[in-house]
Amino acid sequence: MKKNLFYAQSGGVTAVINATAGAVITEAKKFPKQINKVYAGRNGILGALNEELIDTSKESRAFIESLQFRPGGVFGSCRYKLKSIEENLGEYQRLIEVFKAHDIGYFLYNGGNDSADTAFKVSQISQKMNYPLTCIAIPKTVDNDLAVTDSCPGFGSVAKYVATSVQEASLDVQSMRESSTKVFIMEVMGRHAGWIAASGALARQNKNDAPHIILLPELMFDQKKFLDMVKHTVAKLGFCVVVASEGIRNKKGKFIAESDTRDAFGHAQLGGVAPFLANLVSSKLNLKNHWAVADYLQRSARHLASDTDLQHAQAVGKFAVRYAMQGMNGVMPVIKRLQDNPYRWSITSAPLSKIANVEKKLPKSFISKDGFNITSKGMTYLRPLIRGEAKSIYVNGLPKLLEPKLVLAKKQLT
């Protein structure tokens, strides 16, 4: 029977998540006998719970095509964790009520680790609550920490941004080293996995190029070892560039930059590693330094997106629809690497039971013995993911963005 499809974006957005959304909407039109309309959840899963469904059929074809150039989450995202059916049956009953009211038979959830968990839970409700629903999770996370998939859409563009920023900033510091700044510290995202920090190594073309120190959450932060390395590098080269993950921990296993604020998933809000390290360098080594926090800039820099990343993002969206049409439930389209150089890849399916609540960290084989660098094996993995320029369209010097209508479907429930 012909059903409607519900698509939602979840968690932190990326430079290419809207490209996935555009691919889902476009691919769904190829199955007119199975899919009637594509609804997008306003602010992720909350759109389903609040019965706020955006009717994508009201958007122009030009707008849907332009989504590949738009960063952020055009339909709104959220950090909202569904508890188990046993803990909060009411939420699942509400989802089913909304899905029934709007004749939704396909649920596509575009997100990272916690979103995969949500998708896995929703995929089980058709049996437990006797409602026919096909659920597909779509990978997305700048952290690159989803299990099974070779890489995650969103990561390649962040890696390209970080590597480019490190390369450019290092030339600035190098120019001023004689009489001014000696140390530059760049803080990047990465709570438990150091993939983004590791990508800074891509900026290095020659042996003495920046970054000179990479701090990863997979390893305990050793203050003395760090300061000794900074001192040695400055003595040797006249300057030192550091890329630090926000998730580095002290000897007690606590985040160095952990605050008392927590998000909806229960994660402590991080941020402040760079100024912490800068203070150490100032007080212990008396070296002039500057620091920067990439924060939202690294994940929203569509103007510097990787073409490989864009292709990944569109492919997982297309295959999510195809898998749904095949009746597959509780799976995710994942990227399979076939060859490093030249880079070749394909899309295959993986069960959510092997992905939900599993975190993929940087392998030991990717980390140098001193803990401050990335091995050749790690570089071989990273390099293809930043290749190619997914160029934006510019108008009056700025990226061209078409505005959405975001028309909500009429509510059927009180």
CB atoms within 10 A of CB 390: 23
Query: Cα separation of 215 and 187, whole Å?
Result: 9
Q: Do domains 3-141+305-358+387-399 and 155-302 have the same CATH topology?
A: yes
For the chain, how far is it from start to end, CA to CA, in angstroms? 27
Report DSSP state, residue 29.
T
Residues ≥6 apart with Cβ < 8 Å to 183: 173, 230, 234, 239, 240, 241, 242, 278, 281, 287, 288, 289, 290
The share of the chain scoring above pLDDT 70, in percent, equals: 97
Q: Which amino acid is at 229?
A: M
State yes or no: pLDDT of 263 exceeds 90.
no
Query: Cα separation of 7 and 44, whole Å?
Result: 8
| Nearest Cα to Cα of residue 211 among 194, 192, 193, 191 | 194
Report phi then psi at 57, rounded to 5: -70, -15
pLDDT at 271: 61
Residues 87-119 have pLDDT tens digits of 999 999 999 999 999 999 999 999 998 889 989
Contact 80, 115 (CB under 8 A): no
Residues 164-195 have pLDDT tens digits of 999 999 999 999 999 999 999 999 999 899 99
Of residues 143, 145, 150, 309, which has the active-site annotation? 143
Residues ≥6 apart with Cβ < 8 Å to 234: 182, 183, 240, 285, 287
Contact 335, 345 (CB under 8 A): yes
Query: Cα separation of 278 and 185, whole Å?
Result: 7
State yes or no: pLDDT of 126 exceeds 90.
no
State yes or no: pLDDT of 19 exceeds 80.
yes
Task: Over range 49-56, report the average pLDDT.
Answer: 98
pLDDT at 125: 86
Q: With bands split at pLDDT 50, 70 and 90, how would you rate the model's confidence at 299? A: very high
Q: With bands split at pLDDT 50, 70 and 90, how would you rate the model's confidence at 261? A: very low
Q: Which of 68-82, 113-127, 387-401 has the lowest mean pLDDT?
A: 113-127
State yes or no: pLDDT of 267 exceeds 80.
no
Q: Is 143 a catalytic residue?
A: yes
Residue 37 Ramachandran class (φ > 0 left, ψ -120 to 50 alpha, else beta): beta
Q: With bands split at pLDDT 50, 70 and 90, how would you rate the model's confidence at 414? A: confident
Q: Which of 190-199, 247-256, 262-271, 329-338 has the lowest mean pLDDT?
A: 262-271
The CATH architecture that domain 3-141+305-358+387-399 belongs to is 3-Layer(aba) Sandwich (3.40)
Residue ranges per structural domain of the chain: 3-141+305-358+387-399, 155-302
Task: Over range 353-375, report the average pLDDT.
Answer: 96
Q: Write out the CATH class of domain 155-302.
A: alpha beta
State yes or no: pLDDT of 262 exceeds 70.
no
| Nearest Cα to Cα of residue 290 among 207, 411, 177, 407 | 177
pLDDT at 86: 87
The CA-based dihedral angle spanning residues 43, 336, 382, 186, taken in that order and rounded to the nearest 10 degrees = 20
pLDDT at 230: 98
Task: Over range 253-280, report the average pLDDT.
Answer: 72
Q: Which residue stretches of 281-359 are H helix? A: 295-300, 307-325
Q: Which of 34-38, 257-261, 357-361 has the lowest mean pLDDT?
A: 257-261
Contact 216, 245 (CB under 8 A): yes
Task: Over range 305-318, report the average pLDDT.
Answer: 98
Helix-, strand-, coil-residue percentages of the chain, each rounded to 5? 40, 20, 40
Q: Average pLDDT, whole number, for the chain?
A: 95
pLDDT at 386: 98
Q: Which of 121-135, 159-173, 371-385 has the lowest mean pLDDT?
A: 121-135
Query: Cα separation of 43 and 46, whole Å?
Result: 6
pTM over 0.85: yes
State yes or no: pLDDT of 79 exceeds 60.
yes
Query: Cα separation of 245 and 270, whole Å?
Result: 10
pLDDT at 260: 47
